[in-house]
Structure 1
Amino acid sequence: MAIEQEIQAKGLTAPRVTPGHIESIIQSEHYFTAYDGAKSGGEEVEQIWHDKDDLGKEYEPLSLLTFCVLVLRNGFTVTGESACASPENFDPEIGRKIARENAVNKIWMLEGYLLKQKLSEQ
């Protein structure tokens, strides 16, 4: 049984953050790999190569690091990431799911804090 279902089944009704609330405050989702960022070519992307002989070889590992940026309705951004150790196991869809889950977990902490603050002021 999922945690939310268990909470409801036990009749726990005190104020709390819900999965529905978390999803309702997400305005947009953005996914990219570190490779995408490094290869963007923008002047604002700083790259420091420690071994000039490996120039360019370090891009492959960057393709295994997926980022998710969630923009919340109030304009705040939350990030999540997913790093794959083995290139053979890399799957872009799984990477995006894990990165999103990690970003959403940060929203839970932020929203939990906000709720606790509101309750303490009552």
Structure 2
Amino acid sequence: MNDQAIEQEIQAKGLTAPRISLGELRANVAAEWYFTAREGVEGAIVRSTLSDVGGESMTSTFGKDHLNTLTFCVLVLRNGFTVTGESACASPENFDAEIGRKIARENAEQKVWPLMGYALKQQLHEATQEHQQ
């Protein structure tokens, strides 16, 4: 069951207590960035000396093609906090950049749920404490 199906079930059951919705989670994303591991390595080589990013092993041809099938997603949340998700494809013949980005994005979003859940729980706790005083 994916996040959208869960959201539909929550709404269908009329559950109305405070919670984080998928829409709220997605609205909390200020920016998103995607890159393959190869693009990351190449960027590191351009910006650094080779010894800073692995020395000779980074200049060899072995592994560079394998890095093309590992996709990263970086989500920057409204408060500046970042989370990452990744998608690895075992067979280069099956690699599709769009699918890789979608899976990496979903994996990054899964890391945002507990962060936003904690923040909501803290708000509810603080409101309860205020009412008890």
Say whether 1:46 aligns with 2:79: no
Superposition deviation, residue 24 in structure 1: 0.8
Identity of aligned residues (%): 59
Number of corresponding residues: 120
Say yes or no: does 1:82 pair with 2:64.
Answer: no
TM-score, structure 1 normalization: 0.89
Structure number with larger C-alpha Rg: 2
Q: Aligned partners of 1:117 and 1:48: how far apart in 2? A: 46
Tell me the SS of whatever aligns to 1:39. helix
1:64 aligns with 2:69: yes
Is structure 2 residue 39 aligned with structure 1 residue 36?
Answer: yes
Query: Secondary structure at the residue paired with 1:75?
Result: coil
Rate the CA distance shift 1:15–1:95 in 2: closer, same or farther, 3 A. same
Alpha-carbon distance, 1:117 to partner: 2.1
How many Å separate the matches in 1 of 2:54 and 2:119? 37
CA contact (8 A) 1:81 1:98 kept: yes
The counterpart of 1:103, out of the listed 100, 108, 112, is 108
**Letter aligned with residue 46 of structure 1:** V
Structure holding more helix per residue: 2
**Equivalences for residues 18-29 of structure 1 within 5 A:** 18-29=21-32
Unaligned stretches of 5+ residues in structure 1: none
If the length of structure 2 is used for normalisation, what is the TM-score?
Answer: 0.82
How far off its partner does 1:49 sit? Answer: 5.5
Map of 2:131 onto structure 1 = none
Moved over 6 A (4+): none
CA contact (8 A) 1:67 1:99 kept: yes
RMSD: 2.0
